[in-house]
């Protein structure tokens, strides 16, 4: 929280918030900063806390506005200021790590196994797809579809209407025995 006060050229407070006047350093330090041309400096206020001060001259350099912003002093002040943000960042990092490790365990490995099986079937190997015990129902369904594609006995879902256009026109000209045709 920033506080401000009006001071004269000698560093004495002439107005402002009472809490801000307690935050000001001793008048000699403010006067030294004015004479030295400093527009910003850090020092301890009269209340004992560390502040960063900024000076801005008003009305022909006879009156100055001094703003005081608190600075974290040591680990307790730093933890007090940034502790909540650090906790949120650590929680987010933990959640991302859990998702990353979980995605590999429950998504990528089973799909990699199914892809390896499909590659082996495409090369002409005669093998069976062994269902893993930890597969979810969705992966079991995918493995059944891959197993059916490998044998060449699986029909497209939805019948003839779900086939690509070229396959539909071929199927319309050459229907398989017992299949109804809906396109002409």
Global pTM value: 0.41
Domain of residue 32 covers 2-71
Query: Digits of tens for pLDDT over the chain (184 positions)?
Result: 678 888 888 888 888 878 778 888 898 999 999 898 888 998 888 888 888 899 988 877 888 998 888 887 677 777 777 888 999 999 999 999 998 888 877 777 777 877 887 788 788 877 776 766 666 677 777 777 766 655 555 555 555 444 455 555 555 555 555 555 555 4
Are 114 and 164 members of one domain?
Answer: yes
Are 105 and 167 members of one domain?
Answer: yes
Which pLDDT belongs to residue 81? 75
Domain boundary among 47, 71, 95: 71
Which pLDDT belongs to residue 96? 93
Domain boundary among 32, 53, 71: 71
Are 23 and 104 members of one domain?
Answer: no
Which pLDDT belongs to residue 160? 47
Are 159 and 86 members of one domain?
Answer: yes
Is 180 among the domain residues? no
Number of domains composing the chain: 2
Residue pointed to by tokens 């703003």:
67
Calpha distance 150→124 (Å, rounded): 9
Domain boundary among 48, 71, 94: 71
């Amino acid at each position: 929280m920033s506080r401000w006060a009006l001071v004269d050229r000698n560093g004495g407070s002439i107005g402002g918030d009472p809490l801000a006047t307690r935050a000001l350093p001793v008048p000699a330090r403010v006067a030294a900063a004015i004479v030295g041309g400093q527009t910003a400096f850090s020092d301890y206020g009269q209340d004992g806390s560390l502040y960063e001060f900024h000076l801005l001259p008003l009305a022909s350099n006879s009156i100055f506005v001094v703003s005081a912003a608190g600075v974290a002093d040591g680990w307790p002040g730093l933890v007090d200021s940034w502790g909540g943000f650090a906790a949120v960042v650590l929680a987010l990092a933990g959640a991302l790590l859990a998702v990353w490790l979980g995605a590999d365990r429950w998504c990528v490995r089973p799909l990699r196994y199914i892809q390896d099986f499909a590659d082996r079937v495409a090369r002409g190997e005669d093998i069976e797809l062994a269902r893993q015990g930890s597969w979810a129902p969705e992966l079991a369904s995918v493995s059944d579809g891959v197993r059916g594609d490998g044998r060449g006995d699986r029909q497209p879902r939805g019948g003839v209407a779900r086939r690509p256009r070229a396959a539909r026109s071929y199927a319309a000209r050459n229907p398989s025995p017992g299949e109804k045709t809906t396109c002409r």
